[in-house]
Amino acid sequence: MFNASKGAATDLNGKKCRIGVVQARFNDDITNALWSACHTELLRLGVPEKNITHVTVPGALEVASALQGMAESSDFDALIALGCIIRGETYHFELVANESGAGVTRVALDYQIPIANAILTTEDHAQAVARQTEKGRDAAAVAIEMALLLASL
């Protein structure tokens, strides 16, 4: 249950939560690890397997479109965005990072649905590997906490 007076999660019980997860396949060694950690944490926090919908898209720029489709269905209490953008030698990194982040935020605000954004933006592969498990777990907890908060408002 969410304790609104304290502004913190006191008991993240996801047993009634319906969660949609969109995973970008680009940099799939990282995104598969994000998904594995996220999925494990969702189950640990009580979300039934049947209440988890997981889809994949080619890359980070396509994540928002899939999130929008899920949001339009009204079948979910919260959504999770998983991806990995690693800086390269061109401006493309900034474009993908900025636009994917803006797209995720736009869907959340337009559809009034919480979205845990775990699209990593890192300088190199090693930084992504260092963050993949923690960020996957964090995304699961954030999604449940925010779903419970919005349900209580």
Among candidate residues 39, 54, 92, 125, the one labeled active-site is 92
Q: Is the pTM of this model over 0.85?
A: yes
What domains appear along the chain, each with residue ranges and CATH number?
28-152 (3.40.50.960)
pLDDT tens for each residue of 88-125:
988 899 999 999 999 999 999 999 999 999 999 999 99
Return the pLDDT at 9.
52
Known catalytic membership, residue 92 = yes
Counting Cβ atoms within 10 Å, is residue 127 exposed (0-12), middle (13-18) or buried (19+)? middle
- Flag whether pLDDT at 150 surpasses 50: yes
